[in-house]
Amino acid sequence: MKTWVPMLAIASGVALWTAPASSTDPTTSDYFIGYWGLGTPEECVSRDTMSFYASGAWAMTNGGGNPVEVIGVWALEGDRILLDFAELDDPSDLISVEATISNAGKDAFTLTAPELPDGQATLYRCE
């Protein structure tokens, strides 16, 4: 059974930003810490972005520079990442996604899960 962290506690965790990790090993949490874009690396400033924090919090914007729209917690389990979150316009609707990690390289990885658009998304590390 999953334990839900109150959204206020998650929001506090997001404030504890850690600089992007230099790890290239996708089996460690350090690999994911930082700011990632959806689309292509050149679109980091204009597309949806995801930020993973060492505190276990994560957030998503809807188009680079726009306010945070989704906030939640994340955990790594082998080759899977577990995302528990809520959209800020309806924080009572808690969602869980378990995505498989593949094609992980120094600056990109792919998530695959039925809940994702087209069943998968590739994320690129933003600077």
pTM for the model stands at: 0.76
* Confidence at residue 3, expressed as pLDDT on a 0 to 100 scale: 41
Question: What CA–CA distance (Å, rounded) separates 76 from 26?
Answer: 9
* Confidence at residue 83, expressed as pLDDT on a 0 to 100 scale: 95
pLDDT mean for each 10 residues of the chain (127 residues)? 40 41 70 87 79 94 77 94 92 93 92 91 88
**Residue 95: how many other CB atoms lie within 10 Å:** 12
* Confidence at residue 70, expressed as pLDDT on a 0 to 100 scale: 92
* Confidence at residue 47, expressed as pLDDT on a 0 to 100 scale: 76
* Confidence at residue 98, expressed as pLDDT on a 0 to 100 scale: 97
